[in-house]
Chain A
Amino acid sequence: MITLLKKEFKLNPFFIKPNKKNWLSFLLAIILIVGLVVIETFLFNSLYDKFDAYEGASFSFSVLFLIIVALISLIISIFYVQRIFFNRLDMSLTINKPIDYMKIIISKLIYCLIINYVFAAVINFPILYSIVPKVAMQTLLGFATIFYPLFLSLLNIGISLIISIPIQYIYRLLKQYPIVQLIIVALGLSFACYLYSLVLNLFVDLMNNNSMQILFSSENLALINDLAHNFYPYSYLCVSYLNFSHGVDFIIYLVISLIALAIGVSLIALFYVKVNQFEFVKEHNNKYQYHILKSDRAIIKKEFLLLFKENDTTYSFTSLIILQPVLTFLVINAINVALLRGNLAIYITIMPYLLNNFDLLMALLFSSVISLNAVNIYKSELKTIRVMKYIPYSMYKHVYIKLLIPFICSLFATIITFIVLVSTSLIGLDTFFMGLLLSIIIIFSLMVLSLKEQLRSSKFEKANSYLSNFLSFFIPLIICGVNILLASLLGWLNIYTYLFDLIIVFILLGYVIYYLIRKFKNDVLGLEVVN
């Protein structure tokens, strides 16, 4: 059992002992998590102070916020449960071994609980400990807070397990129909995007120009109170935690959680082997129809298939480039409204270049962050690398095609994004042309970098993508930071700062092209294959 549990931890890349090659990547991951928690805590405390000015509102708000956080951890938990219980690599290690599958399930369950607890603790502790000084019975709440993530995890894992079986069946079914899968994923993400825009617009509307006061009308406060108290079963936990007099609510919550967990475990025990075998049986039953194609065309087709058929890419890159224009527009529009109508407007009027550069920053970040997802090129190749090495086809050409196809897709999405931004007057023509140019160069450079990183990775190690990841954030930040400095200190006009940016990115481009060419032949030939 302990061995099985150790295996689970080893399979999680986060728990791999950082070495000098991937320490930066590890550090960035930590910074990312800390950043998220800081923003979350900031949001909570800022809003709490505003709610606190109204009668009874801060309690309802705290409960509602905890419920929202609980729902986010539920969504994460669902993903985690999928990954832990239905991991292909893990299955290949254990499914054919003489190990009692109940032991596997229990070890995974314990692992799930630990991971869930840690995650729930990370995102809930800052909020709960922010509340502690503001309520009665501080010592008790301070102590009880330690157990809050545990109780939350019980229910989250229970629900995640219950719905994991149907999700797996649907997921594996969709895998047989890539076009349908692509459409469904795109639709699902579009719906999520719509929900995001709905919440974001509502939030920004409320916040700007003091219309936030509308949020605090008695009707809305009553609605928040109703939501907070009637979002079962999470409201039982959150209400009882913030008000110990609701002890019965806690007991009800505990009973519901344990029942959900029991049902979840029973379902997983019943279906675990069946679902996992389904995967292999289906794989073996695949029948391919071979068509003879010209080599160039075949390679291009393969790359497109990898982008649009391969599951991981479908869920990340492909769907995200479809949504890139919408997401970028929503975020920039919301930030612009907040900056122009709210408390910060005075800074924007004093330093108008802040707005341009903030918009540029967001547009560059979105395009670079999303496009970088496409360059997990060789990871998705798996065994075909060996085939590529056997067939009489230029590896260089292969690499170029591999680079160009996702680049063209990203380029297309980025052009659309900038057209959307300029046609909705969010950015001016100068930012449009220069931003687009900068964006294209950055995307290309990052893709080249990422390609090089993958060429240099070994089959036993995850590709060290720290440099490209780091630069995907760092380059836009540097560009916009320098622009602001030049505009504020030297009074440079936009156009001059943009020209300066071009110099920076051309230097970057020159470097990465040199970096790519250097030992390129060795890198390509030395690319290790997966057996």
Chain B
Amino acid sequence: MSKKSLPILLILPFAVSILSVYAINFNVNLVSEDLQDIRFDYRQNEGFAINSKTLLEATPVGSEKALQDLGNALVWTTSNSEYASISQENDSYYLNALSAGETTITVSNLRNTISRSFNAVIFEDGAIIINSLENTSSAMIDDKQYFGQYDFNNNHDGHTNKEISLSVEVLPSDMQRHLVLDDSSDNVSYGNNKITFKNINEDVEDAYLTFSIANTEIKSTYEFGIVKDGYNIYDYNDLLYCTNYSNDGLIGVLQTNLESLINTYRSEIRGNEIYYFDEYLNEDTKLFGNFDFEEQELNFDEEVYRFETTYNDKFIEEWNAVNQDKISNLVISGIHIQKDFYGNGFIINGHNLTYPTLTSVSSDGVTIPILGSDDLFRGPLPFVTLGDHNNDATLLIEAYGQDNSLIYVDGNNITLNDINMRNADFGNNLNNLNTVGTGIDVFGDNITIKNSQIRNAKNNVRVYSSENFLLDNSLLTNARQFLLSVGTNEYEEIDHTQNVSVYDINGQSLNIPTNEFFAKSSDGMDFENLSIADNILMNMAAYGTDILGSVSLDNVLKALEAMQNVLSPISKIVDQDNNPIYKTTVNVNDTYFYQSGIASISLETMFNGAYVYNSLPTLINQVLQSMVPMLNMEHISGVNYPSQVTLSGNTKFYDYKEVDSLDVSSIIKENISRMFEGEDGQLGDIFEGVEVNVDSIFPYRKILKEEAMNMGIGHQILDEESSSVKLYVNTPIVYYGGGLNLSSVIDNSVGKEYLSSPQDIDITTYSLTKPVTSSGEMILNVLARCVPIAIGFSPFKVMGYKQGYLYGETPNINDLINNAKEEL
């Protein structure tokens, strides 16, 4: 018997382990999946004899799902149908050369979100077709390809002067012997089919060479840009030496695609794994990373740039001071840019660095990424955590700090031109972008990103504490959270001894020192002797339950508003004329925003609640301290300086989403609802029949859903499939709430008449006034009030498009190409 009972003891840990496993939830937020690329074999310039008819060929690159999407069908267009027209026969497209001249031939997906183009020279008597023998991306938005003045030598410890090899082809070929160099700019010389640079004085200089056929009118000019002190980047290591390996940074000029493994090397499936051969799929595409073919491994650990977060890390500091299980305050970036960078439209795909290395497929057929144990990108740092950041089991609520990024722009007066980047190829579920980090994290003054395509990130561009940032003529698409996130690192703390004007819970006005107002009570259960702030907060948490007696809602709200004013010393973030002191100013011009998870642009401010200030209310702190490992919060937060965003030109937001698909878990992480929900919830199903999810704790989506029509930003569409009316919103701007947010938006864009004024999403008032029908709902509501107590009582705000403006439309990347041409 005793011997036989041993198996039970040995099986026991397996059973306990199973009991300890969370429910594995994967949220799905499906969007239209774009192609990753379009490939064709046309050079930058191609000649076509007049009256000829040529079959146009291109190959879409993308997942099976993307290829099957009708919105990704390839369509050919011409910029000038006077010279050449496009005809379609069955599934094939033809170029019909009509009259002598030049036209841009573009192939794009039907949604117009990805394209490739070349210049077609239609000739009658003859033509000169000039192409560089360098790589060209054909996905440029800028009309011009740029070359750096130097190439690295093999050891990257010196450089050689750049030479551009040219192919100058004359059609018909029998005229080749009459080809002459007609003219050239002063900064180049030409010989042996090679261009060399000379006398480069300006940061960027235009250059050209004009060839002609002797005794004819036939001429052709090859134009390009020369970047003074620029280094051409032909592979990933060149990129590292321009960026992460350089102390002060070098000017980089990209001359190749830096793609993911699967898009770079020939591969085959061996068993359950993909085996890669040392054989490029395309000459113009190298790997983003250094792949070990023997081990079949890719490791970025020694190559990435790590830096201490520039955001408020006071919580991390205080946590690490008292806990053995430390939280890192280091942020990781794939590319650390400190000088200008010219992307030339070549793709930078950080997929293998940023995307979880493991994937699976749910029973619904949705691809789910799974973080491998060695993955570097694992989500943002915490700004503040109620519970243990390192242990999901005891983490109740977490507000996020700075995230990792694929590109970190660090310095002043830096321009990024024609960047075509994506953090990851994520399929069609925006939630797959949860841990891929920011696309471009901007930190510095006078930084410009122009003519760029920034795709597939948690936040595509993050601009913090950067003045005069310009985002110009670009496309931002597919963000898990925001396409552009704007905020500041600087904040002001409360003067703890200053006298403040507040109200007590009975509406009585008081003028007392801050530290007296926010004093901690000795016992949170001793309701008779709570400090003033403690009493207000406890009455707020228990409002409607009669635990602490009856108080009026007006008095609660008035007291909370006054308390938030104390927590947000506004006088420190405004000037003498009471104008906000902006620490971040952003100009957005001629830029398209397409498909965000929550909103296109966020104007953020730090969460700044009483709990974060002084661990109030005492009772809740006592309860939390007894439940989970908690840091005793002491003045973690403060009030952020505001930011200003100016929208101008043809800036448009193609960002309609069904309200039900909004998933705000990326704004604030909470596990409280998990404790109550489903069979895996630790607290069982005592809340049976009560809706328990992130909306119950952080009701941003719920309020937006209920109020969108009243706000005038809801757009109802009858869904024919389900015969139900679905509510869509397009919210170009969201202001973070919690702490005081004095940020502002100046809208001079084409759609300004359709953009609503800021509308409040007030989770504090909502949680106080929400009708409850059961005791379960009431308890849940009390818990939901803990969120504003922690993050602050100021409302979130949204600005939405009215009247369904731009509903059903998608951005056309050709507009950006044309804008760039017009600028020239």
Contacts and interface: CB of A to CB of B under 8 A. Distances in A.
A227 to B, nearest CB: 11
Nearest to A221: B360
B394 A349 contact: yes
Contacts of B363: 52-55, 57
Contacts of A167: none
A377 to B, nearest CB: 14
A210 B18 contact: no
Nearest to B682: A346
B361 A55 contact: yes
Given A331-B9, A349-B394, A369-B9, A212 B360 contact: no
A28 interface: yes
Interface in A7-52: 25, 28-29, 32, 35-36, 39-40, 42-43, 46-47, 50, 52
Contacts of B6: 320, 369-370
Interface string A325-350: 00100110011011111111111011
Interface in A461-504: 465-466, 469, 472-473
Contacts of B393: 209, 340-346
A240 interface: no
Contacts of B273: 219
A66 interface: no
B20 A338 contact: yes
Nearest to A351: B626
A465 B3 CA distance: 13
Nearest to A334: B13
Nearest to B674: A343
Contact of B18 (A42, A52, A365): A42
Interface stretch (B365-373, B418-426, B719-727): B365-373
Contacts of B18: 42-43, 46-47, 207
Contact of A35 (B8, B10, B13, B20): B8
Contacts of A57: 363
B17 A334 contact: yes
| B15, B26, B675 interface centre (most CB from chain A within 10 Å) | B15
A430 interface: no
Interface in A493-520: none
A52 B364 CA distance: 10
B13 A204 contact: yes
B177 interface: no
The dominant DSSP class at the A interface is: helix
A217 interface: yes
Nearest to A337: B17
A168 interface: no
A334 B24 CA distance: 21
Contacts of A330: 13
| A36, A343, A466 interface centre (most CB from chain B within 10 Å) | A343
A276 interface: no
Interface in A184-240: 196, 200, 203-204, 207-214, 216-223, 226
B16 A339 contact: yes
A418 interface: no
B17 A39 contact: no
B492 interface: no
A43 B682 contact: no
A214 B20 contact: no
A53 B362 contact: yes
A372 B5 CA distance: 11
Interface in A294-343: 316, 320, 327, 330-331, 334-335, 337-343
A407 interface: no
Interface string A370-389: 10110000000000000000
B298 interface: no
Contact of B15 (A28, A43, A218, A337): A43
Contact of B21 (A207, A346, A366): A207
B281 interface: no
Contacts of A345: 20, 391, 393-394
B3 A32 contact: no
B744 to A, nearest CB: 41
| B358, B360, B373, B626 interface centre (most CB from chain A within 10 Å) | B360
A32 B1 contact: yes
Contact of A331 (B12, B22, B371, B391): B12
A362 interface: yes
Interface residues of B, number: 50
B17 A213 contact: no
B628 to A, nearest CB: 5
A54 B365 CA distance: 8
Contacts of A373: 2-3
A54 B394 contact: no
Contacts of B7: 36
Contact of B24 (A29, A50, A366, A472): A50
A478 to B, nearest CB: 16
B630 to A, nearest CB: 9
A207 B1 contact: no
A359 B453 CA distance: 57
Nearest to B366: A55
B13 A344 contact: no
A39 B20 CA distance: 15
B4 A346 contact: no
A58 to B, nearest CB: 8
Contact of A347 (B21, B368, B373, B682): B682
Contact of B22 (A35, A55, A216, A343): A343
Contacts of B134: none
B824 interface: no
Interface in B326-363: 358-363
B358 A344 contact: no
B180 interface: no
Given A54-B362, A210-B392, A345-B394, A200 B24 contact: no
A54 B26 CA distance: 11
A347 B627 CA distance: 8
A350 B20 CA distance: 15
A55 B372 contact: no
Nearest to B273: A219
B362 A200 contact: no
Contacts of B1: 25, 28-29, 32, 465-466, 469
Contact of B272 (A196, A222, A349, A369): A222
A50 B5 contact: no
B19 interface: yes
A213 B17 CA distance: 14
A491 to B, nearest CB: 12
Contacts of A211: 373
A338 B12 CA distance: 11
| A221, A327, A335, A366 interface centre (most CB from chain B within 10 Å) | A335
B303 interface: no
A280 B372 CA distance: 60
| B7, B21, B22 interface centre (most CB from chain A within 10 Å) | B21
B427 to A, nearest CB: 13
Contact of A213 (B370, B629, B682): B370
A331 B13 contact: yes
A349 B370 CA distance: 28
| B1, B8, B13, B363 interface centre (most CB from chain A within 10 Å) | B13
B322 interface: no
A54 B20 contact: no
A472 B368 CA distance: 48
Pairs A-B, 9 closest by C-beta atoms:
A342-B20, A217-B358, A345-B393, A334-B13, A222-B272, A207-B17, A372-B2, A338-B17, A55-B361
27 contacts: A25-B1, A39-B11, A46-B21, A47-B18, A54-B361, A55-B361, A203-B17, A207-B18, A208-B20, A213-B24, A213-B358, A214-B370, A218-B361, A219-B272, A219-B358, A335-B13, A342-B20, A346-B393, A347-B682, A349-B394, A349-B626, A350-B627, A369-B9, A370-B6, A465-B1, A469-B1, A469-B5
Given A217-B359, A349-B626, A349-B628, 13 more contacts: A39-B8, A43-B15, A50-B21, A55-B360, A207-B17, A207-B20, A207-B21, A334-B13, A335-B16, A342-B17, A346-B675, A369-B9, A465-B1
